[in-house]
Amino acid sequence: MMYKLMIVDDEPLFTDGLAECLRDMRDPEWEIIKAYHAQEALQYMERTPADIMLLDIRMPGMTGLELHRQIQVRWPRCKVIYLTGNDEFSYVQEALRQGGVEYILKTEGDEVIMEALQKAAYELQAELQKEQWVEEARERWFQAKASLRKSLLMDAVNGYSEEEGQLAISFEELDIPLRADLPVLIVLGKVDHWPSKIKTTDCNLFLFAIQNIAQDLLCQSTNVFSVDSDRSHILWFLQPKDLNISHERLIYYTEGIMGQVQEKCKTLLQLDISLVMSDSIVPFGEIDMQYHRLKNVMFRHFGLQRQIFVTDRKHPQEEECSEKTLPGKRITGLKYALEHNQKHEFLQQVMQLADLSTPLQTDTEWQQAEVYFELVSLALATIQKLDMKYEVESRFDLSSILKGVYSLKWDVFLHEYRDIMAYIFDSRTQEWELQNTDLVLQIKKFIDENLHLDLSLTKIAEHVAYHPAYLSRLYKQLAGKNLSDAITEMRIKRAEQLLLDTSLKVHEIGKAIGFESPRYFTKFFKMNNGFTPQEFRERYIK
């Protein structure tokens, strides 16, 4: 784990020297930031809060004690170690009373400071495991439950349901009063019309009120759970409390209660809602079919009249939903695979659309047309987003897929479409790899040009517009080494070059690679090279 350390002291020589001394500390790794007064420290903390702060007590303007008070309020988990040349008891007492981890005299030496940093790092690590963090996590978990419940159930109705065993665990963890091993009845509701001046927050309150009304009326005989899928739609999931109740009886009971819900919404909330109810109870693995069936029924009837309430059993012309009658769902699956760069899954799903060429149903041509326009739209939008228009046009004859559904053979279209999308997937991956290669080169160039400066992870991250923590992980993944190790290697290489090819003095070479203190430069060089700079020069020049 990498910790962020900030040294705050108004004496530049001391600050720079200490930073150089601590730069090569390992286990854990450190990113070191320097600030020469309290206001500068606060500006850094606003951008990238430090984990530990080495803080001088007596500074002009805002003192270290005053800065610590602000740190405690805004970044309470930051550990503060006081550094000072003053050993007066009153300062010590006040510093420790404010929660300082240690109080160290500057005259005590580097080893004492390193020990204090190790101790503070271990304390931070230990705090991560304390019960306080567990309780905070539980509280945040409770607050997030509503969103997680909605995501789980909406994934299920869109065809991304978990396996029964995992779904049961998710229901238990999220306190959803349903059983994954039992079939479920679903009801779809929609607000017919919102008043013109209603606010979004008021819409959410009304949706919550509608769900409360239904909950109160249904909870006597059913286990019920509901989610609002968008600004106007609500989806109810119901199972009988008495498992001996027949499916038919549950359906008629729910139909009667939902009629009351519709009337109460009109009376109490002055809202008209329309309802579509399923004619059967299905396993959770099949509710995506049922959901799309209800949406189709709602679409056919909504807007013709307010307060509609229909069930799909009253409309025998509705064909049974299957994979072949859900082109919208299949396109959703393709979009998901494309968004998550799942090339194999995407291409496999494209070729599965070949079943639409088999005349098993009278509306196959219509389904082909719907899927055709969705596929072409998806491809064109992707090409535009990735700015690949000229590359695709130069490699493929797009007229072969753009000439229209009635002017092409379905299987030929799917193969040509697959080839185009495979090329887009491959190009996207290659572009990402090239960007990563360019990123490593860009970082190395920046380091090479700024070896004489304080090269912190934060500064490098700002240069390439990445978050420091993400950049640290990404660089190690791409280059196979830590960024701090790369900086060290480049500093040593530059120092060796200057020692052998120039007549610069040792302290001048140290400054050229970012060391203000000759003593720390010598220590750094010997630690990584095995020789002092002077020994290296004499050995290899001879």
pLDDT, position 130: 67
Q: What percent of the chain has pLDDT over 90?
A: 32
3-class state of residue 448 by DSSP: helix
Q: What does the pLDDT read at residue 177?
A: 94
pLDDT in tens, 92-112: 555 555 555 567 777 777 788
pLDDT one-digit tens code per residue, 214-228: 999 999 899 999 999
Q: Which residues contact 168 (CB under 8 A, 6 or more apart)?
A: 179, 180, 181
pLDDT for position 366: 77
Cβ–Cβ under 8 Å, residues 383 and 389: yes
In the predicted model, is pLDDT for residue 320 greater than 60?
Answer: no
List of domains in the chain:
2-129 (3.40.50.2300), 147-320 (3.30.70.270), 325-337+344-423 (no CATH), 450-541 (1.10.10.60)
Local confidence band at 327 (pLDDT 50, 70, 90 cut-offs): low
State residue 43's pLDDT score.
87
Q: What does the DSSP assignment read for 481-522?
A: S-HHHHHHHHHHHHHHHHHHH----HHHHHHHTT-S-HHHHH
pLDDT digits (tens, 9 = 90+) for 340-363: 889 999 999 899 888 776 554 445
User: With 80 as the cut, is the pLDDT of residue 271 above it?
Assistant: yes
Give per-residue pLDDT as tens, 162-215.
Answer: 888 999 999 998 999 999 999 999 999 999 988 877 887 788 889 999 999 999
How many Cβ atoms from other residues are within 10 Å of residue 108's Cβ? 12
Query: Which three-class secondary structure string do you get for 39-79?
Result: HHHHHHHHHCCCCEEEEECCCCCCCHHHHHHHHHHHCCCCE
Tokens of 282: 């299905």
Who has greater pLDDT, 94 or 160? 160
The Cα 374–Cα 329 span in angstroms is 11
Q: What is the pTM of this model?
A: 0.56
Which pLDDT tens digit goes with each residue over 426-451?
Answer: 998 998 888 888 999 999 999 999 99
More confident call, 323 vs 311: 311
